[in-house]
Amino acid sequence: MAKWLNNVLVKTVPFAPKFVVGLVAKKYVSGETVDDALRVINDLNRQSFNTTVDILGEHIQYLDETELYVNMYAELISRINPIKNSNTISLKLSMLGIELDRDKAWQNFETILKPAKQNRLSLCIDMEDSSLTDITLEFFKKGKSLYQDVTTVLQAYLFRSHDDLESILPLRPNVRICKGIYKESPKIAYQDPDRIREKFFSLVKILLKSDGFAAIATHDLELISVCEEYIKTNNIPAERYEFQALYGVPIQNTLKRLVEDGHTVRIYVPYGKDWYPYSMRRLKENPDIAGYIFKDFFRIKSR
């Protein structure tokens, strides 16, 4: 989609009436409640997809807000089916108060981690903007020392990600590799799409050559096919990697085909009442999303 059109859309979409944004968010958010999310998860499981479930909300202003999210995660953990790692959970440290009080955020994280460990539910710490990279990796390392199924994310666009990966490789980590969604400065992040793709593939290869597990999180069909080819050529066993996609992104045909070919595919399923600010923030952070929404309105067909 032309950049100028994306920019026009970004400027106008935030003024759209809430119900219009709601229609769009409906496609990308499984609902407002845990029941909504469970319905979507069960449906995806029936289609042989695994899921990772995320409760919407980030960058809280007051520490007491964290209690709500911790309770919501506790409920989700008690109700989700972890059998054979088919469903996992994802969370953001900013919703646990990491920007306000690190000790409290750790306390919140541990409160979520304990029942997750009891229920053998894998827990992924999403990666947020670069101001939180160090602390996210710190929580990941500390969390993994308490429970081996704590996982995290590295962003291919950050210059530092190769070093970060090398530093955690001895832990035999499960790492989601993504391109990165936040607007980052050219001083610390690649801006060129081809360079980001190249870095993405290189991070995936490092994980696959080591004892790590690669969660290949992209909707970029070219990148999916390059990774698939590498996996095939090098006889990488199915328990060493998986493909991941966001709920609602129109690449169902590709995802179904991946499952049919014996690959594991995990869908990232967000839910919660915070869908409006989430959708708006995503629009501001990454104008390309306006293009995806625009395509959606015109029902551009699934790949």
Ligand X SMILES: Cc1cc2nc3c(=O)[nH]c(=O)nc-3n(C[C@H](O)[C@H](O)[C@H](O)COP(=O)(O)OP(=O)(O)OC[C@H]3O[C@@H](n4cnc5c(N)ncnc54)[C@H](O)[C@@H]3O)c2cc1C
Which residues contact ligand X by CB under 6 A?
126-127, 153, 155, 176, 178-182, 217-220, 244-246, 249, 268, 289, 292
Per-residue burial over 228-252, b if 16 or more Cβ lie within 10 Å, else e, is: beebeeeeeeeeebbbbbbbbbbbe
Whether the Cβ atoms of residue 294 and residue 5 lie closer than 8 Å to each other: yes
Write down the least CB distance from residue 170 to ligand X, Å.
22
Identify which of 108, 97, 89, 98 has the alpha carbon closest to the alpha carbon of residue 138.
98
Judged by beta carbon, residue 226 or residue 246, the one nearer ligand X is 246
Of the listed 149, 164, 176, 197, which one is catalytic? 176
Write down the least CB distance from residue 131 to ligand X, Å.
13
Q: Let me know if 126 is a catalytic residue.
A: yes
Write down the least CB distance from residue 176 to ligand X, Å.
6
CA distances from 273 to 30, 114, 240 (A): 11, 25, 35
Q: Is 89 helix (H, G, I), strand (E, B) or coil?
A: strand
Of the listed 54, 126, 149, 274, which one is catalytic? 126
Q: Let me know if 176 is a catalytic residue.
A: yes
Write down the least CB distance from residue 224 to ligand X, Å.
9
Q: Give the torsion sign (CA, 136, 138, 139, 145).
A: positive
Q: Which residues are catalytic?
A: 126, 176
